[in-house]
Amino acid sequence: MIVGLGNPGKDYRYTRHNIGFNALDRFAEKEKMRFKKCWRFPARTGRIFKWGQDLLLVKPQTFMNRSGYAVGLFMDKEALSTSDVIVIVDDADLPCGKIRVREQGSAGGHNGLKSIIQAVGTDAFVRVRMGVGPRPSGEALVNYVLSNFLKDEEEMVNRALDQVIDVLEIIVKEGPEQAMSRFN
């Protein structure tokens, strides 16, 4: 299961906080796949067979700080362990366009990750952190991550959205260690 974190609604569509949604949208666009509203769970989902795996793509529709609720429901429904989960998330501490893969770790102050850790009871799941920083000095984090990318950041963001598909391929085919050694 590949989870992209973000907030539902068109007001948030291109905000820094929604880069996880944007990454899954880019992947789906390249694969000519469409997300559908899931009627039983609060998410938009898609399935695709790629890289030798049946992949479930999930965009929780619970708002960021309740992402864990949707992730937990899908893990139960699909009988997945945390080793089967990859979460794509924004990181305001990484420079815009940078990607970092981690096999586990703390939420680092990210409310979406906190929610998932709380819901699944562990921090042992792969996360792909996509840089959306640096935050201007003195600007509140919540205001920054809910702002849109600047015009001069768009090229870096587009490159990162394309590159994250390569990162996901390496994670799925070869494991997170290989992805970390190539992309971190």
Instruction: Name the packing angle between helices 111-120 and 67-78 (round to 10°).
Output: 40
* pLDDT band, residue 176 (cuts 50/70/90): very high
Please compute the mean of the pLDDT values over residues 41-62 and round it to a whole number. 97
User: Would you call 17 a catalytic residue per the annotation?
Assistant: yes
Q: What pLDDT is attached to residue 151?
A: 95
Q: 86: which residues sit within 8 A by CB, 6+ positions away?
A: 1, 2, 3, 125, 126, 127, 128, 168, 171, 172
The reported pLDDT for the residue numbered 54 is 97
Judged by DSSP in three states, 103 sits in: coil
For the segment 123-169, what is each residue's pLDDT rounded down to a tens digit?
Answer: 999 999 999 999 999 999 999 999 999 999 999 999 999 999 999 99
In this predicted structure, what is the pLDDT of residue 62?
Answer: 95
Look at residue 94 in the predicted model and tell me its pLDDT.
96
CB atoms within 10 A of CB 54: 10
Residue of 1, 7, 8, 17 marked active site: 17
Contact 85/71 with Cβ under 8 angstroms?
yes
Distance in angstroms (rounded) separating the CA atoms of residues 26 and 20: 10
**For the chain, which domains are there?**
2-183 (3.40.50.1470)
CB 69 within 8 A of CB 115: yes
Distance of CA 129 to the CA centre of its chain: 7
Question: How would residue 13 be classed by pLDDT, with cut points 50, 70 and 90?
Answer: very high
Per-residue model confidence as pLDDT tens digits over 94-109: 999 999 999 999 999 9
What pLDDT score was predicted for residue 137?
A: 92
What is the predicted pLDDT for the residue at 22?
A: 98
Cα(22)–Cα(6) distance, integer angstroms: 8
Q: Is 6 exposed, middle or buried (0-12, 13-18, 19+ CB in 10 A)?
A: buried
Average pLDDT on 54-82 reads: 97
Residue range 73-86, pLDDT digits in tens? 999 999 999 999 99
Q: What percent of the chain has pLDDT over 70?
A: 100
